A = this chain, B = another copy of it.
Amino acid sequence: MEIILMTVGRTTIDFVKEGIDEYIKRLRHYVPYTILELSDIKKGGKMSIPDQKEAEADIILGALRPTDYVILLDEHGKEYRSIEFAKAIEKIMASGYKRCVYIVGGAYGFSQRIYNIASQKLSLSKMTFNHEMVRLFFTEQVYRAMTILRGEPYHHE
């Protein structure tokens, strides 16, 4: 199974890119992991927030495949401990999906159309983090999950 982190908008902050690259490099030994950056909606300042969400939804839906297992990173999602998160990934892997796609939305959240097609919602924290940094935290957490599943000593309880 491939794990994909789908994001609306590119990663522009240098230190975030460096951090993500570091964990992607480490993840190569464990699982295929890809960050799929979807092109951002042009911020002309003329689009309303609901219109922007719908335009983003079109782009997200265009990048998904019918056979994907879709999980949204969402503030109202379920919070997991790292070990529980690892076990949840393991379970999805065992279900035979080709791609497990985690999606980070834009600044205003997801359209209802995206909620409708998702199987799960995941929250990394009650706190709101910078949208780009979420990508870094998530990628480290996937790496941590892989070391947990292999019984490697990266993670301390």
Contact = CB atoms under 8 A, between A and B. Distances in A.
Interface of A: 13-16, 18-19, 22, 79-82, 85, 107-108, 124-130, 133, 136-137, 140-141, 144, 155-157
Given A15-B19, A15-B22, A107-B156, A81 B140 contact: no
Contacts of A80: 126-127
Taken together, the copies of this chain in the complex come to 2
Contacts of A130: 140, 144
A155 B128 contact: yes
A81 B15 contact: no
Contact of A133 (B14, B79, B127, B136): B136
A124 B133 CA distance: 14
A134 to B, nearest CB: 10
20 contacts: A13-B19, A14-B18, A15-B19, A18-B18, A19-B19, A79-B125, A79-B127, A80-B127, A81-B127, A81-B128, A82-B127, A82-B128, A85-B127, A124-B125, A125-B127, A128-B156, A128-B157, A129-B140, A129-B141, A133-B137
Given A133-B136, A133-B137, A126 B79 contact: yes
